[in-house]
Structure 1
Amino acid sequence: MRDENCIFCKIANGEIPSSTVYEDDDFRVILDLGPASKGHALILPKQHYKDICEADMAVTGKILPLAAKIGSAMKKGLGASGFNVVQNNGTSAGQTVFHLHVHVIPRYENGPVMVAWNPGKAESRELEETAGILKNALAEELFTEEK
């Protein structure tokens, strides 16, 4: 399925030109127009999914291996010393285009700090309580998926 009003659907399916670095039946990988660093790429599924929670498992199962190949090419071709794989879900997580997409951001020695956070502290009891809540919610998700 595609969304006629989605700019990433149009880019992924070749209706809007892009700097494409890879394409197959499921994905188009383009260079980001607002790059965090030189070579910043976006993996765009050709089918429309609002976010990773809506995506087909067959599609999501192909994304991480593709990101690894792109990151490896960034290291080999651009001299990147590493790369980040970033996928945002929801406005509060920084998602601005509601079409599943994955950022592959090359990192360079002495480059800017990005995709970082200051580690917080959590007590053992809080960790156990949070783990219990997540286990229950995950069990519900998996049970719903089986039906």
Structure 2
Amino acid sequence: MECIFCKIIDGEIPAVKVLDEELVIAFMDINPSSKGHMLVVPKRHAENIFEIPESDLAATVKAVKICAKAVKEALNAEGITILQLNGKASDQIIPHFHIHIIPRWENDGLPISNWEMKPGDMKEINDIARKVKENITPPS
């Protein structure tokens, strides 16, 4: 499968770049959820958070912070949504790890964080936490 982000990184497809570093590129989203919506993408292909090397992840997160601060100042955004999706069930469309930076304003109508919050079952929460702890392994 051909990766659209790899084509952008290789210069085969144009993009409106805002940052181009050794390990990471950031460019404007051509289907923006809000004014200033951009994507930060590691140059080395990794499909998701489970595959990305630690060095690329660190460089990507550093670039997200730089770009989020810049777009917040440039557009006078009142907030920023940082969004990263993994797998079809999470609605990941492009199978190349990337992070969305979405500038936000009060009453902008974006439903990104409007999920229902309701009290959880504490026994279930504790059981899940125990299972997660059993599966935590330090990064290699």
- Is 1:73 matched with 2:70? yes
SS in 1 for 2:135: helix
Match of 1:33 in 2: 30
Which segments of 5 or more consecutive residues in structure 2 lack a partner in the other structure? none
Q: Give the stretch that moved more between structures: 72-81 or 117-126.
A: 117-126
Q: Which has the higher helix share?
A: 1
Please report how far the alpha carbon of residue 64 of structure 1 lies from its aligned counterpart in structure 2 after TM superposition. 2.0
Which segments of 5 or more consecutive residues in structure 1 lack a partner in the other structure? none
Mapped partners of 1:137, 1:120: distance in 2? 26
What is the CA RMSD across the aligned residues, in angstroms?
A: 1.5
Aligned residues: 139
**What is the CA deviation profile of residues 67-113 of structure 1, one whole-angstrom value per residue up to 9, with x for unaligned ones?**
12111111111111110111100000010110111101011232123
Residue 42 of structure 2 contacts residue 57 of structure 2 at CA under 8 Å; is this kept in 1? no
SS in 2 for 1:106: strand
Q: How does 1:38-57 map to 2 (within 5 A)?
A: 38-57=35-54
Match of 1:85 in 2: 82
SS in 2 for 1:39: coil
State the identity as a percent.
Answer: 32
Mapped partners of 2:109, 2:67: distance in 1? 20
Mapped partners of 1:136, 1:49: distance in 2? 26
Mapped partners of 2:20, 2:5: distance in 1? 14
TM-score (norm 2): 0.92
